[in-house]
A and B are shown apart, each in its own frame.
Chain A
Amino acid sequence: MEKFETLNALVCPLDRSNVDTDAIIPKQYLKSVKRTGFGPNLFDDWRYLDPGEPGMDHGRRKINPDFVLNQSRYEGAQILLARKNFGCGSSREHAVWALTNYGFRVVIAPSFADIFFNNSFKNGLLPLILDEAIVDQLFREAEATPGYTLTVDLHAQTVVTPSGESFPFQVDPFRRHCLLNGLDDIGLTLQHGEDIRAYEARRRTEAPWLF
């Protein structure tokens, strides 16, 4: 997994609440058996005016000029600013892959859906929760200021605005540790193989019908 330490990057504001995973990556793209190549289809139904199918040349499709991601001032954005309950809906990790394939490293929102939140950490995408009032302020500033960037520092656990205003954020120590070091969960868990086997041995006597 790619490490995450600090990032200073352009912010793209997506002013909708309850953005669901069907919107982040529509189902026709879930037929892929890979983890890559989802970037062109991030927010496909909103980003393009014509219906999309896998295998198309997405560079030649009709762009929706009103959609925020298509506006030139947000080109190269790596921080997505969103409203509450971001990533609700299905468990598809393809939603996270689409965001990271596109180039996003951070999503800031007042709240996230649980499974999406969890999936993000496994892919080096930092889902960052800030108070609704602060998110509101960031929306106002990002929309009013072309080239608006934020600095996200995972060591210090702060988000810093261009004017130097700093907002602290919370993150689970274990997840933070994994992100900072780019650690692979499976490798870590397998170090506890003895514990897992001991659990199984105990469980086999308590609930033998499960084995």
Chain B
Amino acid sequence: MTAKTLYDKLWDAHVVRTEEDGTALLYIDRHLVHEVTSPQAFEGLRLTARKLWRSHSVVAVPDHNVPTRDRDQGIADPVSRTQVETLQQNVRHFGLTFFPMGDIRQGIVHVIGPEQGATLPGMTVVCGDSHTSTHGAFGALSMGIGTSEVEHVLATQCLLQKKMKSMLICVDGQVGPGVTAKDIVLAIIGEIGTAGGTGYAIEFGGDAIRALSMEGRMTVCNMAIEAGARAGMVAVDDTTIDYVKGRPFAPKGAYWHQAVEAWRELRSDPDARFDRVVHIDAARIEPQVTWGTSPEMVLPVSGKVPNPDEVTDEVKANGMRRALEYMGLTAGTPITDVTVDKIFIGSCTNARLEDIRAAAEVVKGRRVAGNVKLAMVVPGSGLVKQQAEAEGLDRIFLDAGFEWREPGCSMCLAMNADRLEPGERCASTSNRNFESRQGLGGRTHLVSPAMAAAAAVTGRFADVRELN
């Protein structure tokens, strides 16, 4: 038998049929749904009088538009409210599993899927959201899809797709103290570029990845899409299985043992061939800070804002000039000289318990710097919030001058009331630093939760390793 990659195994297990040109019908096990990309899909089904193929596979949750405070007053913005209500109506009409606002299980779709055990190893997982790559951390094949594909999966339980190429990113050795999963993935994107993974399914491996918790692996896979890859994944090991065990949607009893046996196979065979292999030395990764308007525009915290005049590729140099102007930065400035206005700790990249603990550890006994106008923590789910509160983490943040909010996407994309004003600079634990992503004219620097906390207490980008 030929050696297979993890991706090969997941792919082969889900092919229903293949067309002559290689386009396959791929069976989907889990379909996660949120309010922004689903209304047109449900409407399409209604217009064509089509039924859901397997409503049982769907888990729905509102997250993008929900307010993160004063929830008892509902959603103030009428357009946002309509969208959330539309989801509610669709859920009722089609009889789907749903975690509404106010349910302790509500939260960001990519946080709650794994938290509930709705994401399992070996599954195909889709969602009308590009950060669905997150779920690949479980040794699953998970992909973001567009609304037409959401409708297609609802109606047929399948996705039409061609097999992608395979890439192995091997992070060798171990990272130093103060360096987190977020720094690893930002360093990877800095290395291969935002289009480096286009057309590939990426498997993350190597000792540094094996050493990560599930939360850390989710952070890494979450940002596979920022490297252009629709799917990111990590092989199954004890860390995976321990995390899944006992979760509400996880298999129980005899099924559990049968499942674990099957899941143990979910790793690339030792001599499997990848179309591309990239090695990264973990020991050389420093805490990272992005400086521009694309996640590949990233620096180690000891670095300086780069100079476009030193770049020979004209298209690239122009992009850098535009980014510098938008970000209000001058080439040659040490990134630690840059001050911040707002701090956002949240998003599907970094709003899990481990992230909140890491930030709290830095904040503990300190205060938010005077020049910081707003520092906020938005937990990824109601359950994350509850657990953090049980550990007293909310008090640490509140005592330091942070705001402690209700779960949702919040200022990751500013569809609700949380946003940057023009020109404001934010240290953010989210995943996209595109122009105006966090509010029109806002300037986003992507960092880890610990680095965001360090920026909050110093008022500028600071090396978290030097804070003590």
Contact = CB atoms under 8 A, between A and B. Distances in A.
Interface in B232-262: 251, 255-256, 258-259, 262
B228 A196 contact: no
A115 B144 contact: yes
A26 to B, nearest CB: 6
A60 interface: no
Contact of A207 (B17, B151, B262, B322): B262
B53 interface: yes
Contacts of B437: 22, 27
A195 interface: yes
A199 B151 CA distance: 20
Counting chain B residues whose Cβ lies within 8 A of the other chain, the interface size class is 35 or more
B37 interface: yes
Nearest to A208: B255
B40 A34 contact: yes
Given A31-B65, A172-B162, A196 B157 contact: yes
A33 B16 contact: no
Interface string A1-30: 000000000000000111010110011101
A17 B148 contact: no
Interface residues on A, range: 35 or more
Contacts of A195: 16-17, 25
Given A51-B440, A118-B146, A119-B146, A91 B128 contact: yes
A209 B146 contact: no
A189 interface: yes
Contacts of A89: 130, 432, 434
Contacts, number: 182
Interface string A45-87: 1000001001100000000000000000000000000011100
A123 interface: yes
A42 interface: no
B148 A119 contact: yes
Interface in B82-100: 82-83, 86
Interface string B323-342: 00000000000000000000
Contacts of A51: 440
Contact of B434 (A22, A54, A174, A193): A22
A88 B195 contact: yes
B230 A174 contact: no
Contacts of A190: 155-156
A93 B25 contact: no
Contacts of A54: 79
Contact of A90 (B122, B130, B152, B436): B130
A185 B160 contact: yes
Contacts of B436: 22-23, 26, 45
B414 interface: yes
A206 to B, nearest CB: 8
B60 interface: no
A41 interface: no
Name, among A85, A173, A200, A203, the residue most crowded by chain B CB atoms within 10 Å (CB to CB): A85
Nearest to B256: A209
A111 interface: yes
Given A83-B315, A114-B198, A172-B21, A199 B37 contact: no
A209 B251 contact: yes
A113 interface: yes
Interface of B: 16-17, 19-21, 23, 25, 27, 29, 36-37, 39-40, 43, 48, 50, 53, 56, 64-65, 77, 79-80, 82-83, 86, 120, 122-123, 128-130, 132, 144-149, 151-152, 155-158, 160, 162, 164, 194-195, 198-199, 228-230, 251, 255-256, 258-259, 262, 294, 315-316, 319, 322, 413-415, 432, 434-437, 440
Report the 8 A-B pairs with minimum CB-CB distance, sorted nearest first: A209-B251, A122-B148, A119-B146, A33-B39, A93-B146, A93-B147, A91-B144, A209-B255
Given A113-B198, A195-B17, A209-B255, 18 more contacts: A20-B294, A31-B82, A51-B440, A54-B79, A90-B144, A91-B128, A93-B148, A112-B198, A114-B198, A114-B228, A114-B230, A118-B145, A172-B23, A172-B162, A189-B155, A196-B27, A209-B120, A210-B29
8 contacts: A20-B294, A26-B436, A31-B36, A31-B79, A33-B82, A195-B16, A196-B158, A209-B256
